[in-house]
Amino acid sequence: MSVMLVSEQLLNALQYGVMLFLIASGLTLVLGIMNTLNLAHGALFMLAAYLAVATYGMTHSFVAAAAGAVAGVAAVAAALEVLVMRQLYERDHLDQVLASFGLLLLLTEAAPMLWGRASLEMPAPAALAGSVAVGTLRYPAYRLFVTGAGLLIAAMMYWAIHHTRIGIQIRAGATNRTMLACCGVNVRKLFFLVFCAGAALAGAAGLLVSPLVAVDASMGDAILTLCFVIVAIGGLGSVRGAFVAALAVGFVDTFGRAFLPSVLGFPLGPAVASVGVYAFMAAVLIWRPRGLFPVRI
């Protein structure tokens, strides 16, 4: 096991964890503040990737693709919140699961109807197409850009949640939304903003990952499962917990898939690697049943 290989996997794990955080942070806000299960969150991530590819194909501009993906997904989320999700806030979780699963199926089937069933690809920006030196390692410049962009968004989220009025309301809503309403805050408006912001974060992740993977209608399914794992590990409603848990899941998954097959052999190695994240979640929840950083009530 060479030092360069370990270093490369460390950078891959960091990039993967940051991408997972962008998706899971929106999901944990919706779950923690709105007490709403939204199974369509992964489909919004998928839709953003399609919108990025489509916009890039028309404009050949990564900036335009970014605007199209994030703004387009936020607009779709706004329509879904008004037409569907708003009717579910006071319903039980079974109704939320059934309705959001219907939205998941709708979006998953709509994407191939609009863009075809073949996988799509989007090139990385020309300025980031090569590799850069990280110590003695040559690493793809675009992957470093994804990591830096994700960390910048995470820092902006931390500042917004801890140093702005809307952030105070979000943290209060995660603790006791009934008391928040009694203090005169328009909870419905807050819910709308949180839902759209969560979708925009998923849109940012879809944009950033589109030059790295094949874009197809099933790409949001596995991501959604991992996001629920991250929410459970980090603590419901905790953005800090989502960040720490996403990085941990990124490292466990990346290193497991990279090294366990060679250590344990076939087929045991790949099998253990595929369940490593869930074993990690089980261990964390046995130790801290409410997650690493639960919101204090």
pLDDT surpasses 80 at 173: no
DSSP 128-139: GSSEEEETTEEE
**pLDDT digits 0-9 by tens, 71-80:** 999 999 999 9
| Cβ-based neighbour number of residue 25 at 10 Å | 30
Q: Which residues pair with 134 in a beta bridge?
A: 137
Q: Which are the contacts of 202, defined by CB distance < 8 A and separation ≥ 6?
A: 22, 23, 26, 41, 42, 44, 45, 48, 73
Q: For the chain, give me the number of helices (H) and strands (E)? A: 10, 2
> By C-alpha distance, which of 167, 195, 172, 171 is closest to 183?
172
Mean residue pLDDT of the chain comes to 88
The pTM of this model reads 0.91
pLDDT surpasses 80 at 283: yes
Kindly indicate the confidence band of residue 221, based on its pLDDT and cuts at 50, 70 and 90: confident
Percent of residues, the chain, with pLDDT higher than 70: 98
How far is residue 277's CA from residue 291's CA, in Å, rounded to a whole number? Answer: 15
**pLDDT digits 0-9 by tens, 80-89:** 999 998 888 8
Report yes or no: 64 and 72 within 8 Å, Cβ to Cβ. Answer: no
Task: Measure Cα distances from 294 to 167, 219, 224 in Å.
Answer: 17, 29, 21
pLDDT surpasses 90 at 243: yes
DSSP reduced 3-state for 121: coil
| Cβ-based neighbour number of residue 287 at 10 Å | 8
**Cβ density class 123-142: b for 16+ within 10 Å, e for less:** ebbeebeeeeeeeeeebbbb
pLDDT surpasses 70 at 290: yes
